[in-house]
Amino acid sequence: MRPTIGVFDSGFGGLTVLRELLSGVPDAHYVYLGDTARLPYGSKSRETIVRYALSSGRFLHEHGAELLVVACNTATALALHEIRAELPIPVLGVIDPGTRAAARACAAAALGQRRGVLVLATQATVESHAYARSCASAGLEATEKACPLLVPLVEEGWMPDGSRADTSVVTSQVLRIYLGEALEQAPATGAVLLGCTHYPLLRGAIERTLGELGHPVPVIDSAQATAEVVAEELGVRRGGGPVTPGRCEFFATDSVAKFGRLGTRFLGRPVEDVRLVDLGG
């Protein structure tokens, strides 16, 4: 029996989580919702975010989701508890899996004195201090660094690995500034945790920049860590025989054309047949 996994985000970033899920749990069916008409969640009040996240979760449950992944850091930080209380299916967020992976990375590197985790995230996620709490409960000390320019840089497609030298320079320099400032503040950093679902697209560049700054620590991708937890939850064994990929349905609450266009970059494969859905204001 193939499970149907529901995944939602306020926009496109959650597609980096879906990308890892498609690789880690390839034979499941997926139903993805990008609540693009109401993005960004990050600047809204807690009440509003809970309301939006609940309606997104409910929509996916009604569309067959048997397990729900909240692929949005803000919604995980502010609404995970409420969604779990309402929906009769398992609900996973992106924060605790990221923290667990960071703890493993610190342990593996035998960094006894380096229990510091540098969390890169949006302003809203930093202000929620959800990562600081999650890390504290795992015995790690988080330094949370807001990086407001990274989302627009990713959405502009100004990748440092891209083909254009002029835009690459900008993104590389922005990463050097953010990471330089953060490491100065947190020199005992043993791992860097990507606390925004847009950032995995910059992972290679972040690793390179950490090396250039003389601080080559592991970079943990919450998307990947979340996919691993989902695979565990479903008892998926790796390395089995060939699998037939399941269905993948996409819904968005604003322009489906834009969702398809921008989404393809995040998913790393074409995002097609996006359907428009109205969840209200």
Please, are residues 74 and 14 in contact by the beta-carbon 8 Å criterion? no
Nearer to a second copy, 73 or 253 (CB): 253
In 87-218, which residue ranges form alpha helices assigned H by DSSP? 95-108, 123-128, 130-137, 150-156, 165-185, 203-212
Separation of alpha carbons 184 and 86, rounded Å: 43
Please identify which residue in 17, 28, 37, 79 interacts with a second copy, judged by CB under 8 A. Answer: 37
Residues 171-190 that bind a second copy (CB under 8 A): 173-174, 176-177
Q: How far is the CB of 216 from a second copy (least distance, A)?
A: 21
- Is 155 a binder of a second copy (CB under 8 A)? yes
Nearer to a second copy, 140 or 147 (CB): 147
Q: How far is the CB of 7 from a second copy (least distance, A)?
A: 21
Please identify which residue in 87, 89, 111, 149 interacts with a second copy, judged by CB under 8 A. Answer: 149
> Residue 47: in which H helix or E strand, if any?
helix 46-62
**Measured CA distances, 60 to 1, 67, 279 (Å):** 19, 9, 11
Nearer to a second copy, 84 or 129 (CB): 129
Three-state DSSP class for 120? Answer: strand
Q: Please state whether 273 falls in left (phi above 0), alpha (psi between -120 and 50) or beta.
A: left
Query: Is-catalytic flag, 72?
Result: yes
Residues 227-256 that bind a second copy (CB under 8 A): 254
Burial class (CB in 10 A: 0-12, 13-18, 19+), 277: middle
- Is 50 a binder of a second copy (CB under 8 A)? no
Query: Is-catalytic flag, 248?
Result: no
- Is 280 a binder of a second copy (CB under 8 A)? no
Number of residues that bind a second copy (CB under 8 A): 23
- Is 273 a binder of a second copy (CB under 8 A)? no
* Among the residue ranges 149-157, 184-192, 193-201, 220-228, the one whose residues contact a second copy (CB under 8 A): 149-157
- Is 281 a binder of a second copy (CB under 8 A)? yes
Nearer to a second copy, 121 or 248 (CB): 121
What single DSSP character describes residue 218?
-
Nearer to a second copy, 156 or 272 (CB): 156
Catalytic-labelled residue, pool 106, 135, 147, 196: 196
DSSP secondary structure, 50-111, as one string: HHHHHHHHHHHHHTT-SEEEE--HHHHHHHHHHHHHH-SS-EE-SHHHHHHHHHHHHHHTT-
Please identify which residue in 86, 156, 161, 273 interacts with a second copy, judged by CB under 8 A. Answer: 156
Q: How far is the CB of 161 from a second copy (least distance, A)?
A: 17
- Is 124 a binder of a second copy (CB under 8 A)? no
Would you tell me the crossing angle of helices 95-108 and 73-86 to the nearest 10 degrees? 120
With CA atoms as reference, report the closest residue to 25 among 232, 252, 265.
232
**Measured CA distances, 218 to 14, 76, 78, 203 (Å):** 22, 23, 27, 10
Q: Give first-to-last CA distance, the chain, whole Å.
A: 36
Q: How far is the CB of 4 from a second copy (least distance, A)?
A: 30
Residues that bind a second copy (CB under 8 A): 37, 39-40, 43-45, 48, 148-149, 152-153, 155-156, 166-167, 169-170, 173-174, 176-177, 254, 281
Catalytic residue set: 72, 196
